[in-house]
């Protein structure tokens, strides 16, 4: 049951920009904030407060709620991708100071123990992801400020995912080449 709920929550969060766009087209924006808050609270409850992803969700939940105090409901939900990018940027950046870096951890899960050169490489890749989250968050913010729901949806619901996927594929491919050379 937990796995099913986690899967449903993941699907809702991935499809979030499309859901927001569709509800806005229907004029049903009144419940958007409650839907987002309910999904984030559910995610924290299902994962458990000790799970690091729960901390990210909890912080974003608090920031979204605070944002609502200073903006209208639609703007506060449109800013969700901005806050997620800011949260991921923070996690990746902090992992460079409080090692191991996020990409180092992921590489160890996939590859086992890593050499010093491999760790140095994964730390450089973590910096690339920091840059990605910084730029992606800035573009997400620009789509909110521009005020065009179609552009916001296109970027946050499609282009950002494609860019993230491309970065992952490129990094994985480069890692294979670097690994083969060492």
In this predicted structure, what is the pLDDT of residue 45? 84
Q: What is the pTM of this model?
A: 0.86
Q: 35 is written with which tokens? A: 């839907």
In this prediction, residues 57-63 reach a mean pLDDT of 84
The Cα–Cα gap between 101 and 91 comes to: 9
Instruction: Categorize the per-residue pLDDT at 168 as very low, low, confident or very high, splitting at 50, 70 and 90.
Output: very high
Q: For 51, left (φ over 0), alpha (ψ -120 to 50), or beta? A: beta
Dump pLDDT digits (tens) for 37-56: 888 888 888 877 777 777 88
In this predicted structure, what is the pLDDT of residue 151? 97
The Cα–Cα gap between 122 and 155 comes to: 28
The Cα–Cα gap between 113 and 166 comes to: 26
Dump pLDDT digits (tens) for 78-113: 999 999 999 999 999 999 999 999 999 998 988 888
Indicate the angle between helix axes 32-47 and 16-25, nearest 10 degrees. Answer: 160
The Cα–Cα gap between 143 and 62 comes to: 22
> In this model, does residue 182 exceed pLDDT 70?
no
Instruction: Categorize the per-residue pLDDT at 131 as very low, low, confident or very high, splitting at 50, 70 and 90.
Output: very high
Cα dihedral 126, 130, 131, 135 sign: positive
Question: Residue 35 to residues 9, 19, 153: CA-CA distances in angstroms?
Answer: 11, 10, 17
The Cα–Cα gap between 43 and 2 comes to: 10
CB count, 10 Å around CB of 131? 13
Give me the chain's average pLDDT, please.
Answer: 88
In this prediction, residues 137-150 reach a mean pLDDT of 96
CB count, 10 Å around CB of 24? 18
Query: Under DSSP, is residue 15 helix (H, G, I), strand (E, B) or coil?
Result: coil
């Amino acid at each position: 049951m937990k796995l099913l709920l986690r899967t449903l929550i993941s699907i809702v969060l991935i499809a979030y920009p499309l859901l927001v766009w569709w509800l806005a087209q229907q004029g049903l924006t009144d419940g958007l904030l409650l839907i987002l808050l309910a999904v984030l609270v559910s995610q924290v409850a299902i994962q458990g407060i000790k799970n690091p992803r729960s901390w990210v969700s909890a912080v974003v939940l608090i920031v979204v709620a605070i944002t609502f105090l200073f903006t209208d409901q639609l703007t506060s939900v449109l800013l969700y991708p901005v806050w997620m990018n800011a949260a991921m940027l923070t996690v990746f950046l902090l992992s460079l100071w409080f090692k191991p870096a996020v990409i180092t951890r992921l590489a160890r899960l996939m590859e086992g123990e890593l050499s010093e050169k491999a760790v140095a490489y994964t730390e450089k890749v973590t910096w690339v992801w920091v840059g990605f989250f910084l730029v992606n968050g800035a573009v997400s913010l620009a789509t909110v400020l521009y005020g065009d729901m179609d552009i916001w949806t296109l970027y946050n619901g499609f282009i950002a995912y494609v860019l993230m996927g491309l970065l992952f594929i490129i990094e994985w491919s480069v890692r294979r080449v670097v690994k083969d050379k060492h």
